[in-house]
């Protein structure tokens, strides 16, 4: 047999021939087009790549974002340079027009952000065997440093998980909701494993969720519920803002109690009943009040067994400060509440304040006084400045012009509390306010007269400082004025006939206008008490106002008042002037806030 010896040059020639043959088989060039795995490349393409078995793709250079940014761009020649960005999982190309790398993934690509574990939490109550709804989600706080798409998931080992995806259109700190799905299988505390854009997030401590047992059977006693804490517009609720809700449990189990959201705030509570019978549970508040309106909160429970599962409570929000214009003598007696115990009653946080125990939740007053005898021009200027409330006391005597200014102020929704005992000025006021020239006034009984109050349900007679329906008020040292000729548009509080007098008198000695914010009593010394500490003055016929400093100037009745007559002994009656006045101020604050001259 002949042996053939291949020399090196011959091997090179053979390899070259095979290479040419291989290239001809896998690639053909036609009119400048190169084809791979095709003999007929597309004439309009430079390169036409075909997957022979339709089971392969093509890879272009894969770079991280840092590696991409390290490329030194030659602007005139690199327009359209393309890479695959492994950081954002997207193709990028260099744009000469925009002078930057552009993403083809919706022009945004994958976002870059961090999760603030301390501000992230699970929302909703989780109960064994109860499928999750839209109220079950993770509230995740993130700090976005690069716009783009995000995917956040949270997993547990207890039959339910969380998943959310979206697009960050702004950088900075923001909160996203990652909805839950599934059904908790076991009663236990679950740890949520977070993942953000494919990367595990390790939170210390982790977000945890307590899965409760199925709901028990219980009834709520909303009528005995207590709303705790102070609520103020623009101030976020804290741990002190709660509702204490009495319940009566008849069958053990878990409970989940929620409320609707009203003007930015809501409440919720959950747990497990370990005993039957009467007990209290606490609902924690969240949110920020957006208005001073009284909020009727609807409470909904998950109680089983066909019992009522809804009821409601009212939440009171602190009302902002109001401007008070005082007209009257500035003496120790406190006739117009600019001085004396009547002023102390108004300024006491026990009565009107922002503490949890304040009777009326209110930020206080700005007091302005024009004294006893302001000019008509001064009065007009002061009223044009739109004070929220005007208080008139002894012995301010408005003439017809002044009465017209006050009537105009009332018609613009101003609030007036008038305590006057001069017939001419009272007549001016009533004729101007009621637009009736036939209204008349008259003097009646004198110092120590006691007048019965109406027994109607009214915010002045039955207000936050006490129920004085059917009780009395007392005339100070002067003579009571009564008004006659009124036919409609008012609520009478008292009439001209004292209970301790047999002399017949007609007319009205106290009233409230039903269409304007106007209250009147026919005694300029209605608030009189010269004791700075507000204690009861010793006389039975003068100074009927009582609000002791030892009680935070809380209003109380004067326990011994009135002259003898009509079966009553000297000092044998009780009068409620201070309680009436405190109820008037509470009413005036509410009117000024919700239906006043400065109401927005």
Write down which residue in 197, 212, 227 finishes a domain. Answer: 212
d(CA 313, CA 589): 22
- pTM for this one? 0.67
∠ Cα 275 277 282 (to 5°)? 75
Q: What are phi and psi of 583, to 5 degrees?
A: -65, -35
**Pair 325, 336: CB distance under 8 Å:** no
* 119 and 242 together in one domain: no
∠ Cα 569 571 573 (to 5°)? 85
The pair of structure tokens assigned to 411 is 């018609």
Dmax over CA atoms of the chain, in Å, equals: 161
Write down which residue in 155, 179, 212 finishes a domain. Answer: 212
d(CA 579, CA 546): 9
∠ Cα 192 193 196 (to 5°)? 125
Confidence at residue 318, expressed as pLDDT on a 0 to 100 scale? 95
* 221 and 208 together in one domain: no
* 34 and 71 together in one domain: no
Q: Is residue 578 part of a domain?
A: yes
Confidence at residue 107, expressed as pLDDT on a 0 to 100 scale? 58
The pair of structure tokens assigned to 72 is 């030194």
Write down which residue in 74, 103, 132 finishes a domain. Answer: 103
**For the chain, how far is it from start to end, CA to CA, in angstroms?**
116
* 495 and 478 together in one domain: yes
d(CA 133, CA 482): 66
Q: Is residue 17 part of a domain?
A: no
* 301 and 332 together in one domain: no
d(CA 53, CA 55): 5
Q: State the DSSP H helix or E strand holding residue 401, giving kind and residue range, or none if neither.
A: helix 400-411
Q: Is residue 8 part of a domain?
A: no
Q: Residue 443's closest CA among 523, 510, 363?
A: 523
* 358 and 466 together in one domain: yes
Beta bridge mates, 211: 126
Q: Which residues, 6 or more positions from 7, have their beta carbon under 8 angstroms from its beta carbon?
A: none
- Counted domains in the chain: 5
d(CA 26, CA 20): 10
**Pair 546, 557: CB distance under 8 Å:** yes
d(CA 20, CA 209): 68
Confidence at residue 586, expressed as pLDDT on a 0 to 100 scale? 98
Q: Is residue 257 part of a domain?
A: yes
d(CA 469, CA 355): 28
Which range of residues forms the domain containing residue 429?
A: 322-595
Q: Is residue 12 part of a domain?
A: no
* 339 and 432 together in one domain: yes
Low-confidence ranges of the chain (pLDDT < 50): 1-9, 11-28
**Pair 511, 490: CB distance under 8 Å:** yes
- Whether residue 547 has a cis bond before it, omega within 30° of 0: no
* 493 and 346 together in one domain: yes
Q: Is residue 71 part of a domain?
A: yes
Q: State the DSSP H helix or E strand holding residue 163, giving kind and residue range, or none if neither.
A: strand 160-168
* 184 and 279 together in one domain: no
Which CATH number does the domain housing residue 307 bear?
2.60.40.10
The pair of structure tokens assigned to 595 is 């239906």
**Which pLDDT tens digit goes with each residue over 320-372?**
999 999 999 999 999 999 999 999 999 999 999 998 889 999 999 999 999 99
To the nearest 5 percent, what fractions of the chain are helix, strand and coil? 15, 40, 45
Which CATH number does the domain housing residue 123 bear?
2.60.40
Sign of CA dihedral 37, 42, 43, 46: negative
* 422 and 387 together in one domain: yes
Q: Where are the alpha helices (DSSP H) in 36-135?
A: 65-69, 75-78
- Ramachandran bin of 415, using left for φ above 0, alpha for ψ from -120 to 50, beta for the remaining angles: beta
List b or e across 26-37, with b for residues whose CB sees 16 or more CB atoms inside 10 angstroms: ebbeeeebebee
* 414 and 272 together in one domain: no
**Pair 453, 473: CB distance under 8 Å:** yes
Residue that the structure tokens 């929704």 belong to: 413
Confidence at residue 12, expressed as pLDDT on a 0 to 100 scale? 45
Which CATH number does the domain housing residue 343 bear?
3.40.50
d(CA 188, CA 193): 16
- Whether residue 205 has a cis bond before it, omega within 30° of 0: yes
List b or e across 526-557, with b for residues whose CB sees 16 or more CB atoms inside 10 angstroms: bbbbebeebebbebbbbbbbbbbbeebbbbbb
Q: Is residue 377 part of a domain?
A: yes
Q: Is residue 13 part of a domain?
A: no
**Pair 89, 100: CB distance under 8 Å:** no
* 337 and 406 together in one domain: yes
């Amino acid at each position: 047999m002949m042996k053939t010896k291949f020399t090196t040059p011959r091997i090179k020639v053979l390899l070259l021939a095979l290479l040419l043959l291989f290239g001809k088989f896998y690639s053909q060039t036609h009119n400048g087009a190169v084809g791979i795995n095709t003999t007929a490349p597309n004439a309009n393409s430079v390169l036409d790549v075909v997957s022979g078995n339709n089971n392969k793709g093509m890879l272009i250079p894969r770079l991280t974002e840092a590696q991409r940014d390290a490329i030194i761009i030659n602007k005139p020649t690199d327009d359209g340079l393309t890479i695959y960005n492994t950081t954002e999982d997207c193709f990028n190309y260099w744009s000469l027009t925009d002078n930057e790398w552009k993403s083809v993934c919706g022009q945004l690509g994958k976002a870059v952000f961090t999760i603030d574990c301390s501000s992230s939490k699970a929302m909703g109550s989780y109960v064994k065997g109860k499928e999750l709804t839209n109220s079950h989600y993770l509230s995740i706080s993130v700090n976005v440093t690069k716009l783009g798409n995000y995917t956040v998931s949270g997993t547990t080992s207890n039959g339910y998980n969380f998943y959310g995806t979206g697009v960050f259109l702004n950088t900075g700190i923001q909160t996203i909701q990652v909805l839950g799905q599934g059904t908790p299988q076991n009663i236990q505390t679950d740890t949520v494993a977070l993942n953000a854009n494919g990367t595990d997030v390790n939170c210390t401590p982790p977000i945890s969720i307590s899965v409760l047992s199925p709901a028990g059977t219980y009834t709520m006693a909303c009528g005995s519920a207590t709303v705790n804490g102070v609520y103020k517009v623009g101030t976020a609720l804290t741990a002190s803002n709660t509702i204490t809700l009495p319940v009566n449990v008849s069958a053990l189990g878990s409970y989940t109690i929620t409320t609707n959201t009203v003007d930015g705030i809501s409440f919720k509570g959950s747990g497990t009943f370990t005993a039957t019978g009467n007990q209290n549970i606490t609902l924690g508040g969240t949110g920020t009040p957006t208005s001073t309106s009284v909020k009727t909160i609807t409470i909904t429970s998950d109680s089983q067994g066909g019992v009522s599962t809804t009821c409601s409570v009212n939440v009171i929000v602190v009302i902002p400060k109001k401007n008070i214009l005082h007209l009257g003598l500035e003496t120790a007696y406190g006739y117009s509440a600019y001085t004396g115990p009547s002023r102390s009653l108004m300024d006491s946080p026990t009565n009107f304040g922002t503490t949890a125990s304040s009777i009326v939740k209110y930020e206080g007053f700005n007091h302005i006084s024009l004294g006893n005898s302001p000019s008509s021009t001064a009065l007009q200027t002061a009223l044009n400045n739109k004070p929220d409330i005007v208080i008139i006391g002894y012995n301010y005597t408005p003439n017809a012009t002044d009465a017209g200014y006050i009537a105009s102020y009332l018609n613009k929704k101003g609030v007036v509390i008038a305590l006057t005992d001069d017939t001419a000025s009272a007549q001016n006021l009533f004729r101007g306010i009621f637009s009736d020239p036939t209204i008349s006034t008259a003097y009646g009984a004198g110092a120590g007269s006691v007048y019965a109050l109406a027994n109607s349900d009214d915010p002045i007679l039955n207000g936050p400082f006490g129920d004085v329906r059917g009780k009395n008020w007392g005339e100070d040292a002067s003579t009571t004025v009564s008004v006659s000729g009124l036919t409609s548009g008012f609520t009478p509080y008292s009439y001209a006939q004292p209970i301790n007098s047999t002399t017949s008198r007609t007319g009205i000695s106290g009233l409230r206008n039903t269409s304007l914010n106007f209250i009147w009593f026919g005694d300029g010394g209605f608030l009189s008490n010269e004791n700075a500490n507000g204690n009861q003055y010793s006389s039975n016929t003068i100074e009927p106002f009582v609000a002791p400093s030892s009680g935070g100037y809380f209003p109380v009745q004067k326990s011994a008042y009135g002259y003898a007559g009509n079966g009553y002994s000297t000092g044998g009656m009780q009068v409620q002037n201070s309680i009436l006045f405190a109820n008037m101020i509470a009413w005036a604050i509410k009117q000024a806030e919700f239906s006043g001259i400065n109401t927005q």
